[in-house]
Structure 1
Amino acid sequence: MKRLIGIFVLLITSITTAQTFDTLKDKENLTKQEGFFDFWYSQKEDKIYLQVSQLNQEFIYVHSLTSGLGSNDIGLDRGQLGGTAIVKFQRAGNKLLLVQPNQDYRANTNNELERRSVEQAFAKSVLFGFEIKDESENAFLIDFTPFLMQDAHGVSKRLKQQKQGTYELDLSKSALAMQRTKAFPKNTEFEALLTFSGDAGGRNIRSVAPDASNLSVTQHHSFVQLPDDGYQKREFDTRSGANFISYQDYATPIFEPLTKRYIKRHRLEKKNPEAKVSEAKDPIIYYLDPGTPEPVRSALLEGARWWNQAFEAIGYKNAFQVRVLPADADPMDLRYNMIQWVHRSTRGWSYGASVTDPRTGEILKGHVSLGSLRIRQDFMIAQALMNRPFATSDDNYKPMLDMALARIRQLSAHEVGHTLGFAHNFAASTNANASVMDYPHPNLKLEDNQIDFSEAYDTSIGEWDKVTVAYSYGDSRADQTEKDYLNSVLKQAQDDGLQFISDADARPQGGAHAYAHLWDNGESASEELNRVLELRQVAISNFSEDNIKTGEAYSVLEDVFVPLYFFHRYQTEATVKLIGGLDYNFATKGSDLKIVEGISKSNQNKALTATLKTLDAETLAIPKRILDLFPPRAFGYSRSRESFKSNTGVSFDALGAAATASDMSLGLLLHPERTNRLIQQNSLDKSSIGLEEVLQELVKNSFSKRYSSNYLTQVQNTINFNVLKHVMNLSASDKSIPQVKALANETLSQLKDMYSTDDSAMASEIRYRIDQFMEDPEEFEVIQSPTIPDGSPIGSFRCHGFARD
């Protein structure tokens, strides 16, 4: 809430001064705080008495978590924002009701009766009812404590949803938290320490709580004055890359859209609107958590500050600033845009959330949460890929640290971008990494058979990021309308070849866009996969015990090998999406953008050829010299969710690793929605690749392969069995259309015929599985491969919902 940033003198007075309310006169040890809402605190009662001076006056209410549980899986983090609501106090008899009007359905008109008809047509929400304790001169006194001592953030509900146990709020172990309960002229902040008691039902909660039967967190509540009417709403355009609010305006003429969409953005105005370059009236200032350690602190500051490059490009000088939060400031105070460094027990997503005025889309507070363990994943990736980094010294950590810090700079810029109002752009990697709002995979190179880490991540804002800033924050000239200005920004982006494609289209399973992916690189996904596989092979050939420090258990070496072995996983996702993929834009009439078209057969065939390499025994077989470095897990080094899984007890499962990797590729290639698209596309254009061709190539490159090495033969048998499983999955899936099921069943018949004269044990098992499936496909139960270790986020998410990474 940039316009409010500043240090206010906190007025704390004793109750011995003259009182407005008779109810408070006999109470001892009261302290008063004056601000947006005045309140009194009774230490003896542990109660807060709130003065309500204005009825029916709307303001903003936000709840959040000051302290969290520390589990990424549970998802209750330190600094997590809750919902943003417009609320007001209304009197009803002897009560004051805290009412949330319905902002989703409105009538923006001067006709009071028309507005009232919409208000009465849709439900509002009464958040709480307070008995009026006293009143004087149109001011009311209420006991505010019960409101603060409720589970507004939904902690117990979240724990139940995550199957972590059944908990109830224990008021006997809860109390108001007064250190950060303060009143300021335009906002009043409250906190309470809440304890939830119950029976722990999940491993995640037991892993992070000292006593899983009693969980204590601090919940924060903000009452904030609404901003003035000076903010100008800006219309949303699907091409812009901006996030948006939406609502139904029933005062809209019938010939215009009922749904109104406006982008989310901070308020920003030039001091001198006539100047080509001007300082801002109120710059956008972000504050970094002072608890962030070096060298991470400097990296986060630098990465977040990249955004000023984009603001400079639209004529603003020092309009975007990043500082370390002053020691006396509260990160939960809505006046401060925050970048918080959040600790969890496991690696997980970071995210950028915002407090936004639901009426207009104005961002009042940006709040970034960055998981502290994620930098260690990039460090480990570098450690695995580097050639014997600890061969001569255990202090040679700087090359790995440099790559990890390069990633954290980009992560800082990415999450701040969400809080500036920007969506993911997963097509940016095909445009020379044009946006920090993509998910970046380390961009490594092979030089003289050595891996070069010098350009692993970008070092500045991208060209697309300048487009989104120009659309959301740029100013039109005096001789043009805002609409003309916005269209000119998007037209220039189109002329520059920049493309914007966001979340659902880029996902590896259901996403259909051929050029929008997560964690990929390169203009050509298939060419990049070939390059990644080559780089992976070089790194594996160099991998040795010198990839860990002296004195570390060999079980650590096994875990370091995980990100190297699966280094190709995300580029495989990108490549597979070309098969049955589509190239399209979020086009609008008159924009001249490509609407939608299929992918050429030659490009799909290149993608299929590259994908099949990830199902090759020679690609997936871990060399014996490396297997000799992986003994059963050492005492004190149990497997984690990020370790290789094993079907061989305590020993390392080499075939299981190949099963996991091939299962990943096959799950992508033979996803029902993809195969359904292949049927449709081939029916419209016979020259395009079809599912029958894909299945034939898959069988030829799996079941038809033979090796002289028994180890490679067993790895290939493992892959073949996964192929059989996924073809059966395709036939049995409720999502597969009948044409897909027919081709899957035909492939199974062909496989049975292929092994009809083979008397080997594997051939006999294949025939048995096929016969069993054909006899009763509805009873088919998938044979699971070992679960793939966590990979995403790679050294960084989730973002998600509020835009996580």
Structure 2
Amino acid sequence: MTTPFTKKLWLLLLLLPLMASTVLAQQLPGIASKTAGMKKYPGYFTFYLDEANGKIWLEVDKLNKEFLYVNSLPAGLGSNDIGLDRGQLDGERVVYFSKQGPKIMLVQPNLSYRASTDNQNEKRAVEESFAQSIIWGFKAEAAEGEKVLVDATDFLLRDAHNVIGSIRRTKQGTYRLDPSRSALYLPRTKNFAKNTEFEATLTFTGGDDAGRFVYEVAPDVQALTLRQHHSFIELPDNNYTPRVLDPRAGFFGITYFDFATPVGDDIEKRFIARHRLQKKNPSAAVSEPVKPIVYYIDNGAPEPIRSALLEGARWWNQAFEAAGYKNAFRAEILPDTADPMDIRYNMIQWVHRSTRGWSYGSSVTDPRTGEIIKGHVTLGSLRVRQDYLIAEGLLAPYKEGKPASDEMMTMALARIRQLSAHELGHTLGLQHNYAASVNNRASVMDYPHPLVQLSNNGQIDLANAYDTGIGEWDKVAVTYGYQDFPEGTNEKSALDNILQNSINSGLQFITDRDSRATGGAHPQAHLWDNGPDAPEELKHVLEVRKQALQNFSEENIKEGMPYALLEDVLVPIYNYHRYQTEATAKLVGGVNYTYALRGDEQTITEPLDKKTQQKALDALLATLQPDVLTVPEHIIKLIPPRPPGFRTTRELFNKRTGLTFDPLAAAEASADFTVSMLLHPERTARLVELQARGNSLGLNEVVDQLVKNTFKAPRKDGLASQVQQQTEQVVLTHLIALANNEGTSYGARAEANLALNNLNDYLNRQTRRMGDSPYKAHLVYAMKRIENPEMAPVKLPEHKELAPGAPIGSGAELGCE
């Protein structure tokens, strides 16, 4: 029963916030008087510049109203290894201002846990069950009605991007923010109707323990100055309709737990990430959009690269045309007056680093719905130079008295077009598709290795190195994500038909987790591979490599350059087969599978048959042969130590010989690469399991053939003999490691131990038949390692590793390459 007293009490409770605002306003000066003489920036959140004191005063007029907060790094450090790149986004957060007494709190609600219901008590129960985050607390300094003025300077001058943490995490030094050398950066501090933009110059000092990555890029390691950007953005309206995520469709997305879900349904909700795109006429088979998607190319990219980036980006219009749109996607050069960090511009940004590194396709996405608000691509500028270097190694183009061929630049620009399209695809919402290479390069969302051919007379041909245009899978994915269906369409059924037709046509989609692991099992998903038959392509790649090494000469560098630079060109050619080797290894102990749904009639799981696995094993064993691993003598003689002014870099072979070129270390690293994948703990466990289940290659057979092709192979002479013996020690290292690896199965360890016992017996018999020789010394050392794997100095050694490979040219994520 409601009494008059109860009514008065409820009225008092409702009036308390208004009374508190009135009291606060009466106690504080007015905004106009507080900001007198300051420059006013009207816009989404009006702010004032107190230039004399270097302060920004923010007018908070939207209490308890959610908006999007994004911080980013417009001016970076320049080190791929540390990862603080120009243009790097740091995620998006839905936030709101809340007044709590004299304080104004910037609150981030927890959108990972929700209750989609009109029942406010049910919503409150979820909100109170999980933590929120207060990002910052401001003090109210002036007021005017419902508006409050706060000093935002400290908020803007803090290390919002966690530069200090990134440097510390990579063990590159201990730094602190120096306020005396930090200030607001006014050229990029602006206001617009729907977004407010702030930028600050921040200096981090310290560096007494700075690492070499910092030394590589900083003019003074004791003072690192970067810029950080803050964006307050109006959230999109409620007219966007989220699209349900299907694991077969190839999209990123958002996920959250919805506690208002009926008990019998999945509590975790999944929606794809995509731009808002609508047809003017959804009933038409082809229609112009209400508003097109427009991307801008960094005007700081030089020609002819800028035009290649533009052309590759524009390929995506082919996919939108296939989805029934006309002129729905555009790419333009960024106007000089535009700010790349402005939320209104989808960007492809050209970024420089001291070393080659990944490129990224990221985005600002509405966490509530999955709607992409801004696509932002970061492309590493050294990519084009690495691809050019690969072409130089393949072609040996610098013949005396003749102009160099333009094939190198043609290939490098072809790769840049593909890279532009690839990273932009991530910002449209698309994941990698690493099975595209088996479908005739059906997607730009794969990582493509140059497809190099040999002519009838053995000449290397780069004409078809990289594909052009959008692939068939990309058209399917865009149609799934962006199709605007006529009213009355059963959207769930229509979307399922799009994917089912794709499946029926033979297209495949397999993404990151199933493709990146060196112990991976999927036979058709890998990075930087080619062709539907991995072992056959590995044979072809080895033939290309062989021809390039035969042709290798002083003509691989320009006249007047130091001979030592031939090593730079040699590294990617000697290691040219590395990715196809990885792809082939996945067939050994391989299992084919799809992201099947019940009822779609896709393959669920299917172990590869023994014949297919044996073909892959044969191809892998070929990479361990001395004639493949031994650097030709004519090349060794051409590479002296580096002269003054030309520093040694990690892009070269790891050496044991000091300054001189080390062909044995190159061979060691390559052999270790193959053996480490063949005897990967996960692969060995699968081999044991699959053999027990039926028609599959067994670990015992793999190890037996590995030993037969190394320790029991006919002896070589000269340098090849040392390569052969070294490879045998590499095999032994991995067998010993496998036998003692508690991370793999008991069966795998048992097989490895038996193999070591048998090998030890064989080595004993061999040593009894010979006098002292380098070969006998090798055998005795191998036996010591088998008998005493834990005893110094015969503990497991660390083998030399390959020079950096991925990214093949220069680029975890929405996506990256």
Q: TM-score, normalised by structure 2?
A: 0.94
Provide Cα deviations, 1:259-314, integer angstroms capped at 9, x if missing partner.
00000000000112222211111100000110000000000000011110000011
2:50 is equivalent to residue 38 of structure 1: no
Deviations 1:502-547 (A, max 9, x none): 1011124232211100100010000000011111111111111111
Q: Does 1:318 align with 2:327?
A: yes
- Which residue of the partner structure matches residue 799 of structure 2? 785
Q: Distance in 1 between matches of 2:292 and 2:507?
A: 28
The one-character-per-residue Cα deviations of 1:630-676 (angstroms, maximum 9, x if unpaired) are: 11222222321110121111111111111111011111111010000
Contact 1:21–1:141, Cα closer than 8 Å, also in 2 = no
Q: Identify the match of residue 594 of structure 1 among 603, 618, 640.
A: 603
Residues 382 and 400, structure 1, Cα contact 8 Å, conserved in 2: yes
Q: Does 1:79 align with 2:79?
A: no
1:351-362 maps to which residues of 2 (within 5 A)? 351-362=360-371
Match of 2:204 in 1: 196
Report the equivalent of 1:423: 431
1:146-167 alpha-carbon deviations (Å, 9 max, x no partner) = 1001111000011110111111
Structure 2: tracts of 5 or more residues without a match: 1-27
Of residues 713, 716, 726, the one that matches 2:721 is 713
1:305 aligns with 2:314: yes
Q: In angstroms, what is the RMSD of aligned CA positions?
A: 1.5
Kept in 1: contact 2:282–2:485 (CA 8 A):
no
**Equivalent residue for 1:49, pick from 57, 67, 73:** 57
Q: Does 1:436 align with 2:436?
A: no
Matches within 5 A, 1:512-527: 512-527=521-536
Show the counterpart of 2:22. Answer: none
One-letter amino acid of the structure 1 residue matched with residue 404 of structure 2: N
Conserved? CA contact 2:668–2:726, under 8 Å: yes
Q: Percent identity?
A: 51
Q: What is the number of residues matched between the two proteins?
A: 782
Q: 2:218 aligns with which of 193, 209, 233?
A: 209
Q: Is contact 1:133-1:140 (8 Å) kept?
A: yes
Residue 809 of structure 2 aligns with an amino acid whose one-letter code is G
Q: Tell me, what secondary structure is at the counterpart of 2:467?
A: coil
**Contact 1:509–1:668 (Cα < 8 Å) also in 2:** yes
CA drift of 1:766 comes to: 3.9
From 609, 625, 646, the equivalent of 2:655 is 646
- Greater shift after overlay, 506-515 or 489-498? 506-515
Larger mean CA deviation between 497-506 and 193-202 belongs to 193-202
For 1:393 and 1:359, how far apart are their aligned partners in 2? 64
Identify the residue that residue 804 of structure 1 maps to in structure 2: 816
Deviation at 1:439, TM superposition (A): 0.4
Counterpart CA distance in 2 for 1:734 and 1:44 is: 66
1:413 matches 2:425: no
Match of 1:8 in 2: none
Aligned partners of 1:173 and 1:28: how far apart in 2? 27
Residue matched to 2:290:
281
**What is the CA distance between 1:201 and its match in structure 2?**
2.4
Asked if 1 retains the 8 angstrom alpha-carbon contact of 2:156 and 2:198, the reply is yes
Tell me the amino acid that sits aligned with residue 491 of structure 2: E
Q: For 1:529, what is the secondary structure of its paired residue?
A: helix
Q: In 1, Cα distance between the equivalents of 2:131 and 2:562? A: 61
1:238 aligns with 2:238: no
CA distance in 1, matches of 2:630, 2:96: 65
1:701-740 alignment to 2 at 5 Å? 701-740=709-748
Give the counterpart of 1:465 among 467, 470, 474.
Answer: 474
Match of 1:549 among 548, 558, 570: 558
Pairwise CA distance, 1:708 = 4.8
Bigger CA drift: 191-200 or 353-362?
A: 191-200
Q: Are the structure 2 counterparts of residues 751 and 26 from structure 1 closer, same or farther at C-alpha, using a change threshold of 3 Å?
A: closer
Q: Is the 8 A contact 2:453 2:461 kept in 1?
A: yes
Q: 1:601-654: per-residue Cα shift (whole Å, max 9, x none)?
A: 111011000000100000111111111111122222232111012111111111
Q: Counterpart of 2:567?
A: 558
Partner of 2:130 in structure 1?
Answer: 122
Of 459, 462, 483 in structure 2, the residue corresponding to residue 453 of structure 1 is 462
Q: Equivalents in 2 of 1:194, 1:479: separation in Å?
A: 55
Measure the CA separation in 2 of the matches of 1:768 and 1:561: 32
Q: How does the TM-score come out when normalised to structure 1?
A: 0.95
Compute the displacement of 1:776 (Å).
5.5
CA contact (8 A) 2:283 2:485 kept: no
Q: Give the residue type in structure 2 aligned to 1:791.
A: G
Q: Distance in 2 between matches of 1:774 and 1:249?
A: 59
Q: In the alignment, which residue of structure 2 is the partner of 1:605?
A: 614
* Structure 1 position 781, deviation (Å): 3.5
The one-letter code sitting in structure 2 at the alignment partner of 1:235 is V
Q: Any idea what SS the aligned residue of 2:75 has?
A: coil
Counterpart-to-counterpart distance in 1, 2:613 and 2:278: 49
Contact 1:706 1:713 in 2 (8 A): no
What pairs with 1:330-729 in structure 2 (closer than 5 Å)?
A: 330-386=339-395, 388-393=396-401, 395-447=403-455, 448-478=457-487, 480-685=489-694, 687-729=695-737
In 1: Cα distance, 2:317 partner to 2:256 partner:
32
Q: Quote the residue 2:117 is aligned against.
A: 109
- Which stretch shifts more, 705-714 or 94-103? 705-714
Q: Quick check: 1:29–1:44 contact (8 Å CA) kept in 2?
A: no
Q: 1:778 to 1:233 in 2, by over 3 A?
A: farther
Which amino acid counterpart does residue 30 of structure 1 have in structure 2?
M
1:574, distance to aligned residue in structure 2 (A): 0.3
Task: Find the aligned partners of 1:114 and 1:795 in 2 and give their Cα distance.
Answer: 52
Equivalent in the alignment of 2:273? 264
Q: Match of 1:164, as an amino acid? A: Q
Structure 2 CA distance, aligned partners of 1:781 and 1:707?
Answer: 27
**Separation in 1, partners of 2:63, 2:519:** 49
Q: How many angstroms apart in 2 are the aligned matches of 1:701 and 1:781?
A: 24
Per-residue CA deviations over 1:102-132 (Å, capped at 9, x if unaligned) read 0000000000110011000100000001000
Shift of 1:137: 1.4
* CA distance in structure 1 between the aligned counterparts of 2:122 and 2:791, rounded to whole angstroms: 57
SS in 1 for 2:798: coil
Counterparts of 1:551 and 1:652 in 2: how far apart (Å)?
Answer: 21
Task: Give 3-state SS (helix, strand or coil) of 1:326's partner.
Answer: coil
Match 1:178 to one of 168, 174, 186: 186
Q: 1:5 is matched with which residue? A: none
- 2:160 is equivalent to residue 152 of structure 1: yes
- Displacement of 1:479 after TM fit? 5.1
Q: Deviations over 1:548-569 (max 9, x none)?
A: 1000011111110111100000
Change (3 A) 1:486 1:565: same
In 2, Cα distance between the equivalents of 1:719 and 1:740? 22
Moved over 6 A (4+): none
Which digits, 9 at most, give the CA deviation of each residue in 1:4-28, with x for residues without a partner? xxxxxxxxxxxxxxxx963553667
Aligned to 1:292, which of 280, 301, 306?
301
Q: Indicate conservation of the 8 Å contact 2:279/2:484, yes or no.
A: no
- Counterparts of 1:741 and 1:762, CA distance in 2: 29
- Closer/same/farther in 2, CA of residues 575 and 287 from structure 1, 3 Å limit: same
